[in-house]
Structure 1
Amino acid sequence: MKKIFTVSVALLTYVLSIAQPPSVPATAGSSFGEKVTADKAITIDQLQSLLLSKNEGSRKADVKIKGVVTDVCTMEGCWIKVQSPDGKMMVKMKDHQFAVPVALNGKTVVIAGEAEEKITSVEQLKHFAMDAGKSKEEIAAIKEAKKEIVIDAKGVLVL
C-alpha cells in the first residue's frame, strides 16, 4: 500500500511538473477546443444585460461573446480573462478539455460556452492569482469572495 501511494504521488508530481500551456501561435483564425465562428457573437455588455434579465439563481446562458484577452493561465493555459466594463471576466476551459497558449494575451477572440453568474471563493481566487504569477503579497491581499460572470468555454477563435 505504501509503495502504491509513493508511486502515485511521484506520478502526479511528474504530470503536474510538465503541464504547460501549448506553445503554438495565436494568429488570426487559430482555434482551440470546439470549432467556433464569429457570427452572432455578442459583446460583454450584451452578455451582462442578458444575464441580469434572468431571475437570481438561474442566471445562465449558452453564449458566444467577443472580447480582448487580458490574462492567460501561465501554468497550464486552462483559463483566460477578458476585458469587461467591470474589470476582467473569467473564462475557464470546460472540464480542462483543451488549453490555450500564453500568446493569446492581448488578442481579440470569440468564445463559445456557458456563461453563469457565480460566487468565486477566496480559495479559488487565490489559486487563480497563483496561476497568473501574482506576488505572495497580492495573493495574501485576497480576502473576499467575488460575485462574477464566469464562462465555461467550449471553444475559442482568434480574430
Structure 2
Amino acid sequence: MKLRVYTAILFLSFSSFCFSQEDVEKPAPPSGNALVGDYYGADVSSASINNAISVSKLEESLKTSKKIENVVVKGEVTGVCPKRGCWVSIKTEDGSSFFVKMKDYAFFVPTAAKGKNVILEGFAERKVTSVEELKHYAKDAKKTKAEIDAIKLPKEEIRFLASGIKVVN
C-alpha cells in the first residue's frame, strides 16, 4: 500500500514539470495611466533627465559606434506590447520607430504610455533583427496575418535595453 502512495506522489510531482510555459496564463500589462513622474524599472534621476539626448542624437551616435552603454534618451512612445507591456517602440526622426525591451524582463509598461514622452535609461545598439523575431513582435502587436506574412527580410535597426523608463509629459 505504501508503495502505491509513494508512486502516486512521485508521479504527481513529475507531472507538474510537464506543463509548458505556453499553458501558463501570462499577466496583462500593468494598469495605470502612465502619468508624468511615473516610472517603470529603475527610477531615472533628475540629473539623467537633464542630460537626456534626443532620438536623432542617438541615431547619429550609433552611426559611428555599434553600441552605447549608460545612455539616456528622450522620446515619444509609439507602441506598447498589448500582451504584457514588455516592450515599447519610440518614434525616430524619420517617423519610423526603434524597439525597446526591458532589462531582464524585470518590469513592464502600461499600454497607456502610448503617445507619452518618456526618458529611457539603458543600453543602445544597432542590430540586425531576424525575420522570426520581427514576426514574433508583429504578432505581439496584434498585426494582421497579411502584415506578418509580408515580413520577409531581416531589418537593421536601433535596439534599446532599458533599465528604467520615466514618463515626462
Tell me the TM-score normalised to structure 2 length: 0.84
Q: Which has the larger radius of gyration?
A: 2
Aligned residues: 155
Q: Which residue of 1 aligns with 2:151?
A: 142
Q: Please say if 1:72 is aligned against 2:80.
A: yes
Tell me the TM-score normalised to structure 1 length: 0.89
Query: What CA distance in whole angstroms lies between the structure 1 residues aligned with 2:41 and 2:156?
Result: 27
Q: Please say if 1:88 is aligned against 2:105.
A: no
- 2:59 maps to a residue whose letter is Q
Question: 1:24-80 CA distances to partner (integer Å, 9 max, x unpaired)?
Answer: 2200000000010312000011011112122xxx43332100000000001111100
- 1:23 maps to a residue whose letter is S
SS in 1 for 2:132: helix
Question: 1:82-125 CA distances to partner (integer Å, 9 max, x unpaired)?
Answer: 10024111000111011000010000000000001111000000
Q: Which residue of 2 aligns with 1:63?
A: 71
Unaligned runs of 5+ in 1: none
Unaligned runs of 5+ in 2: 1-9
SS in 1 for 2:52: coil
1:2 shift after superposition: 8.1
Cα RMSD (Å) of the superposition? 1.9
- 1:8 maps to a residue whose letter is F
Q: Please say if 1:123 is aligned against 2:132.
A: yes
Change (3 A) 1:9 1:130: farther
> Residue 105 of structure 1: which of 114, 123, 126 is its match?
114
Q: Is the 8 A contact 1:60 1:117 kept in 2?
A: no
Q: Which residue of 2 aligns with 1:157?
A: 166
Q: Percent identity?
A: 41
